[in-house]
């Protein structure tokens, strides 16, 4: 069973710090892709992002002794393109790359780890719905129900949201607050692809893709890359003017019943999020009331109300009220997805969220900067695997 220990990883607290971040020109590449051009492949985007992260860190290529490739590029080929022969390597998604980099650094297997992601999903025509749906090899639920016409990942969240609305008394208009708030943030972000503000009326008038989800509930599909460089904390304090520390980590997975969607439809990932929350809060010594910014993996807007309840920002059944009254947009009580997130900035599968965490803590977010930002909380619940990471200055 899922253990109840919350103190399993205290050694990882402030063991590693992010010292460099980089990403590609999402807006420019979006325009080029729409004009029929192919600016780069996944490796090309990964390379551009890595070179920027390396410049940002002030380090030399030879300083990198650990490398993690994102899920869309082969590890060996990425290392070849980046010209890195590390002493430790791995492959992982965004948030687990951060976790595994911290683990490698704390254990001494590596001292400076580059985590690198590139994805040409737009220009390559990657399908997230249909019989060849991306991710079907890792998650049987993405393809198992295709004989009945259920294949898109959005539809899985539409089923989740329908049951969630019924269980909690939540409304479509309350979900619309998420897309409206994130567009409010992205309107202040020059790196965001979608910057035009929208209203609840715009949201309610937008077409359904898979009812009850509207077009504005879905992430963008665009090309790009993201890279971060993490370093052993004591060295980072000496070398880096603005290190951002990995302060707390928690994880809890719901695998039982996953293919028939049980954890989504009957408990909305709540128990996994609560356990990941407890572990990461205990490790960092903080709670939801201490967070200045929340970043939620938002392939669909539905992730946000689930996270508000699961991580203790709103009482169970009160996420709708929280979205209406406390608010998550500019000027709200809990600034959330301050870059615009997957819905409005760029769909980098959680990677760009890590950069936004770092930039808010560095204080370099310009117009959308949250004042005196000290703690930023990142959460993801992809397919019921809840992961919580707390960053701090």
Q: Which residues bind another protein (CB under 8 A)?
A: 129-131, 140, 143-152, 155, 158-160, 162-163, 166, 207-212, 257, 259-262, 265-266
What is the C-alpha to C-alpha distance for residues 271 and 268, in angstroms, rounded to an integer?
A: 8
Residue 375: which of 365, 361, 355, 386 has the closest Cα?
Answer: 361
Residue 16: which of 353, 354, 340 has the closest Cα?
Answer: 354
From the CB of 391, what's the least distance to another protein, in Å?
35
- Written as one string, the DSSP assignment of 262-293 is HHHHHSTTHHHHHHHHHHHHHHHT--GGG-SE
Contacts for 19 with CB less than 8 Å, ≥ 6 apart:
57, 59, 229, 230, 231, 236, 239, 240, 243
Q: At what angle do helices 303-310 and 270-284 cross, to 10 degrees?
A: 60
From the CB of 154, what's the least distance to another protein, in Å?
9
From the CB of 24, what's the least distance to another protein, in Å?
29
From the CB of 162, what's the least distance to another protein, in Å?
5
Residue whose structure tokens are 């959308």: 368
- Beta-bridge partner residues of 227: 22, 116
From the CB of 268, what's the least distance to another protein, in Å?
11
Q: Nearer Cβ to another protein, position 134 or 348?
A: 134
What is the C-alpha to C-alpha distance for residues 236 and 253, in angstroms, rounded to an integer?
A: 32
- For residue 390, what are its two tokens? 């707390």
Q: Nearer Cβ to another protein, position 162 or 271?
A: 162
From the CB of 132, what's the least distance to another protein, in Å?
10
């Amino acid at each position: 069973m899922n253990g109840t220990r919350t103190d399993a990883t205290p050694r990882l607290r402030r063991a590693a710090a992010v010292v460099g971040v980089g990403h590609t020109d999402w807006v420019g590449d979006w325009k080029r892709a729409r004009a029929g051009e192919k600016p780069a492949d996944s490796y090309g985007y990964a390379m551009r992002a890595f070179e920027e992260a390396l410049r940002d860190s002030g380090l030399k290529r030879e300083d990198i002794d650990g490398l993690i490739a994102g899920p869309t590029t082969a590890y060996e080929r990425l290392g070849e393109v980046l010209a890195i022969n590390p002493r430790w390597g791995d492959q992982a998604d965004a948030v687990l790359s951060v976790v595994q980099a911290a683990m490698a650094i704390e254990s001494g297997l590596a001292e400076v780890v580059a985590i690198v992601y590139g994805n040409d999903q737009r220009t390559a025509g990657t399908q997230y719905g249909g019989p060849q749906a991306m991710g079907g090899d890792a998650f049987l639920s993405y393809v198992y129900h295709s004989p009945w016409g259920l294949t898109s990942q959005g539809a899985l969240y539409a089923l989740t949201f329908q049951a969630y609305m019924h269980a909690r008394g939540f409304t479509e208009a309350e979900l619309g607050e998420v897309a409206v708030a994130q567009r409010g943030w992205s309107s202040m972000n020059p790196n965001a692809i979608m910057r035009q503000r929208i209203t609840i009326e715009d949201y309610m008038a937008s077409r359904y893709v898979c009812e009850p989800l509207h077009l504005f509930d879905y992430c963008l599909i665009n090309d790009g890359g993201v890279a971060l460089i993490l370093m052993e904390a004591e060295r980072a304090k000496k070398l880096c003017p603005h290190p951002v520390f990995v302060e707390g980590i928690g994880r809890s997975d719901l695998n039982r019943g996953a293919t028939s969607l049980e954890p989504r439809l009957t408990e909305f990932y709540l128990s996994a999020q609560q356990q990941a929350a407890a572990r990461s809060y205990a490790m960092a010594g903080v709670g939801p009331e201490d967070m200045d910014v929340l970043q939620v993996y938002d392939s669909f807007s539905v992730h946000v109300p689930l996270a508000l309840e699961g991580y203790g920002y709103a009482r169970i059944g009160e996420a709708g009220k929280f979205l209406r009254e406390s608010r998550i947009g500019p000027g709200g009580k809990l600034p959330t997805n301050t870059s615009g997130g997957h819905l409005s900035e760029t769909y980098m599968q959680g990677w760009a969220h890590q950069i936004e965490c770092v930039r808010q803590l560095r204080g370099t977010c310009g117009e959308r900067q949250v004042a005196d930002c000290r703690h930023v909380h990142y959460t993801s619940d992809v397919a019921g695997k809840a992961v919580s990471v707390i960053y701090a200055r």
